[in-house]
Amino acid sequence: MRLLTASFYLLAMQLVLLQVVETQIRENVSEIAPYTVVKEAQTYEERSYPSAHWICHNATLQDPSMSVDSFWPLFGYISGANIDASETHVGIKTVKALAINLLTSTDPL
């Protein structure tokens, strides 16, 4: 069952990744939000981002295994399960980060 679930997640991630790549090629979308570095420190940098539309939700991750559960509400929204029934195009780095997390996680799905 775990293998079937993992296969389902990987297939879903591949479909999202294909959609993102196709959109970026078609619309020449930059995958990095523009920003200005305000302050540099030894272990971090403070950035200023211009106004933009961001997709988020208020789920709290109490442990790393919840990152998969946290993805599905966002996946639904960007796939058209929203008030306008419109698909939203996302940056490829978002999808890559989740895919890497899924592939390297030792927590049960």
Q: What pLDDT does residue 109 have?
A: 45
Which H helix or E strand runs over 40?
Answer: strand 36-40
Q: What does DSSP assign to residue 69?
A: H
Q: What is the pLDDT of residues 1-25, one digit of tens each?
A: 677 777 777 777 777 766 665 665 5
CA dihedral 50, 51, 55, 57 (to 10 degrees): 100
Q: What pLDDT does residue 79 have?
A: 79
Q: What pLDDT does residue 78 have?
A: 77
Confidence of residue 34 (pLDDT cuts 50, 70, 90): confident
To 10 degrees, what angle do helices 66-78 and 92-104 make? 150
pLDDT exceeds cutoff 60 at 106: no
Cα Rg, the chain, nearest whole Å: 16
Q: What is the pLDDT of residues 58-76, one digit of tens each?
A: 666 666 666 666 677 777 8
